[in-house]
Amino acid sequence: MLEDTSFAIRPIDQLDEKEVWQPLGDVQKIEGKKQIFAFTCENASGKIHFYRDDIVRITIDPFAQKYASVSPAVVAAPEKVTMHVQEVENGWELKTNALTVVIERRPFRITVYDREGKVLVRDVEPVRFQAKGRMRCAHALAPTDVVYGLGEKTGVLNKRGAVWKMWNTDVYAPHNLETDPLYQSHPYMMVLKDGHAHGVFFDHTYETTFDLRHESFYTFTSEGGALDYYVFAGPHPKDVLGQYTHLVGRMPLPPKWALGYHQSRYSYETEQEVRELIDTFRKKHIPLDAVYLDIHYMDEYRVFTFDQNRFPHPKSLVQYASEQGVRIVPIVDPGVKVDAEYDTYRDGVQKDYFCKYADGTLFKGDVWPGTSVFPDFLKKKVRKWWGEQHAFYTSIGIEGIWNDMNEPSVFNETKTMDDQVVHDGWKTHRQVHNIYGMMMTEATYNGLKKQLKGKRPFVLTRAGFSGIHRYAAVWTGDNRSFWEHLELSLPMCLNLGLSAVAFCGADVGGFAHDAHGGLLVRWTQVGAFFPYFRNHCAIGFARQEPWAFGETYEQMVKRYIELRYEWLPHLYTLCFEAYQTGVPMMRPLMLEYPDDAETWNISDQFMVGNEVMIAPVMRPHTFHRLVYFPKGRWIDYWTKEKFEGGRRYIVEAPLDRLPIFVKEGAMIARAEAKQSTSIADEQLTLYVYTMEEGISSYTLYDDDGTTFAYEKGEYVNMHIRATFSDDAVHFEIEREGAYKPPWQLHVVFVGDVPSTIVVNGERCIIDEATNTFVL
């Protein structure tokens, strides 16, 4: 397991540098008030603030508040914590039930321990700063520690061995290991140490860099702002997710339709084309829930307009789509065309809502509409105004918006807004760049929420920062129709999930480059089990709708889109889990088996919930693959063949087969395939993968799928517990919540049917004809 520990080690001091890194100096004073401990060093002041037993915030500021944080990430207020504080030899020890922080006086150094005394965070070098606002710290890592998270990054699951930068950037060039940064910034890591996890979140909006090339430490550098980070105690990786999302919030439930199959193209260019597209799906009986309108729907790319020639009747188009169970999702970019006769521009200029330089001149940049200005989303009233503009869409029945180019992307040398632009009074773009997109998305989500009168909005975004999942789903931007990019989409989305972005996905089929039948089939198989499932394709490349490559491929693609709908009750149940706990639907194996070191570096398999494992084939003309099975016994979803865990097998996977494995004992609810989520399920089936001995449990969640009534208890949670022994199964079932679902739950056994079945204490007879019974 010790392979690859030979990282390029460089002493911290040699890392750059024209400017001098200054140390903070020794600690001179520390004062504690309940759970807040303020300290003063020669060159800085700082604070250790316990937010909970298991969450501590550490701030160190050598700049006397000059760079006060504007981060929107944290939404939780500190809770009351019981502390044990004592002075120790060279400093102080601050202790809760879950964490201990030791501050050493000379030299100044912080160490954070978990309950068992394991070191989670330890300064291995003094924290340093540069006069112009930069800060750097270096924390210990063991050679065998594994680092996850960091949001949307290329590469494999484990992020060690490379440098990762946070600076939201639009990258069209093919994403590879050297392509960093991308569109999102999540300065957050989950560290797995001997199977125990903890988290560190650096709440910095400035450009930041994680240098993970070293064997025994990592460095974190911020281009501005006081050092400000949180440590999460774990110890299970799911605990870390719970702690992190306690702080930055959890995702609201998406409308069910957002979990269906979505079709996009840059661009479906006319109303007629969109209608024909929907008609073709329906004629071919391929499920479909949404069609996207890319930039060509607009009048010369003016947001909040439709092109009069191509889309003369948007309202009837939306209506028509809705009758077919399909939503229309238009794209909205932040750039507002400079055009004195264009309402959005005029209104924004008159109200002083666009970004400016310090001297008051507007920042102008080229994007799709030509020369454009950019709303100052850092201002609350601008967000409100921008949200209100969306009445243009919601008034004709639109319920979902796609935010693109919100890094913000500008067609100039720096690819973005000038550093010197100031936002909301006097925050430089340099400071707020990484949160610009998130603030736009917040504006969009809240605007839609108001206008949709109780219905759940759907927002898709490209740019984002920690906390983005509160407002939007995330897709990974401009990938290519490359096998390598299919492969890349797994670790990318898995790490987004570990960074709290539970609802994410990659363009199925690949955006740029030409897809082909085999690739589309394999990608659709994978996409069907990603949280967000959209086929999207760039202008000028081969069409990649399900039927684009002929009948044989079409049937396979269709089958997997149908499979998505069959699995929706389970996926929706997992959405609810993410909403409640922060644990994502799509999970790396390590999230379920942190004790099993074999799982720590698996980037090409994933779990959907805790008992289903997907092992996709992601290579051309390949019809088998090696699969690792964690402990337990696993059942092949298709053939029912059994596999013993704790070892590897080569499994067969003809083109029409996605290897799916279900853990013995698992219970999973599925539906019949249907054309759209707008059709209610009359029957759900609980598949019980029987075992000889043991207990298993499942909670099936459902609600109306469209409103916020679930927040007030209008949902159903069916808690099902099954005890298997002596050829009998005892079910205990409990319903929680006020929602009356339209479905009945039938039970089907996969594997040996127990001869005695008892439900809540009563003997139950199976219907001989169908081999099922109703719960």
Query: Which residues are identified as catalytic?
Result: 404, 407, 478
The H-assigned helical ranges of 158-248 are 237-248
3-state secondary structure of 685: strand
Site for ligand MIG in 496-525 (CB under 6 A): 511
Give the neighbor-by-neighbor strand order of the sheet with 458-461.
504-505, 473-475, 458-461, 400-403, 327-332, 290-293, 262-263, 534-535, 507-508
Q: How many CB atoms lie within 10 A of CB 4?
A: 11
Nearer of residues 199 and 505 to ligand MIG, judged by Cβ: 505
Min dist. Cβ of residue 76 to ligand MIG (A) = 32
646: buried, middle or exposed (CB in 10 Å: 19+, 13-18, 0-12)? exposed
What's the distance, CA 619 to chain centroid? Answer: 25
Q: Is 295 in the site for ligand MIG (CB under 6 A)?
A: yes
Min dist. Cβ of residue 301 to ligand MIG (A) = 9
x/- letters, 555..584, toward ligand MIG (CB under 6 A): ------------------------------
Nearer of residues 41 and 537 to ligand MIG, judged by Cβ: 537
Give CA–CA dist 563/565, Å, rounded: 5
Min dist. Cβ of residue 333 to ligand MIG (A) = 7
Q: Is 311 in the site for ligand MIG (CB under 6 A)?
A: no
Min dist. Cβ of residue 476 to ligand MIG (A) = 9
Nearer of residues 331 and 448 to ligand MIG, judged by Cβ: 331
Min dist. Cβ of residue 537 to ligand MIG (A) = 8
Give CA–CA dist 701/655, Å, rounded: 33
From candidates 239, 478, 554, 577, binder to ligand MIG by CB under 6 A: 478
Q: Do residues 53 and 96 lie in contact, with contact meaning Cβ atoms separated by under 8 Å?
A: yes
Min dist. Cβ of residue 630 to ligand MIG (A) = 36
Min dist. Cβ of residue 544 to ligand MIG (A) = 13
Nearer of residues 101 and 410 to ligand MIG, judged by Cβ: 410
Tell me the number of residues near ligand MIG by CB under 6 A. Answer: 11
Min dist. Cβ of residue 295 to ligand MIG (A) = 4
Site for ligand MIG in 377-436 (CB under 6 A): 404-405
Nearer of residues 295 and 617 to ligand MIG, judged by Cβ: 295
Nearer of residues 168 and 690 to ligand MIG, judged by Cβ: 168
From start to end of 446-535, where are the E strands? 458-461, 464-465, 473-475, 504-505, 507-508, 534-535
x/- letters, 435..474, toward ligand MIG (CB under 6 A): ---------------------------x------------
Between the CA of residue 478 and those of 139, 466, 544, 565, 570, what are the distances in Å? Answer: 34, 21, 15, 26, 29
Q: How far apart are the first and last CA of the chain?
A: 47
From candidates 91, 255, 400, 477, binder to ligand MIG by CB under 6 A: 477
Q: Is 266 in the site for ligand MIG (CB under 6 A)?
A: yes
Give CA–CA dist 315/319, Å, rounded: 6
Q: Which residue is nearest to ligand MIG (CB)?
A: 266
Q: Which long-range contacts (CB under 8 A, 24 or more apart) does 220-223 make?
A: 220/136, 220/137, 220/138, 220/139, 220/187, 221/134, 221/135, 221/136, 222/134, 222/135, 222/136, 223/133, 223/134, 223/430
From candidates 123, 239, 294, 611, binder to ligand MIG by CB under 6 A: 294
From candidates 73, 103, 251, 331, binder to ligand MIG by CB under 6 A: 331
Min dist. Cβ of residue 47 to ligand MIG (A) = 40
Nearer of residues 69 and 264 to ligand MIG, judged by Cβ: 264
3-state secondary structure of 604: coil
Using alpha carbons only, how large is the chain's radius of gyration in Å?
Answer: 27
Closest to 248 (Cα-Cα) out of 303, 201, 181, 311:
201
Nearer of residues 478 and 604 to ligand MIG, judged by Cβ: 478
Q: Is 307 in the site for ligand MIG (CB under 6 A)?
A: no
Give CA–CA dist 375/203, Å, rounded: 24
737: buried, middle or exposed (CB in 10 Å: 19+, 13-18, 0-12)? middle
Nearer of residues 139 and 536 to ligand MIG, judged by Cβ: 536
The H-assigned helical ranges of 153-209 are none
* Parallel, antiparallel or unpaired: strands 507-508 and 534-535: parallel
Question: Could you list the residues that contact ligand MIG (CB under 6 A)?
Answer: 266, 294-295, 331, 404-405, 462, 477-478, 511, 536
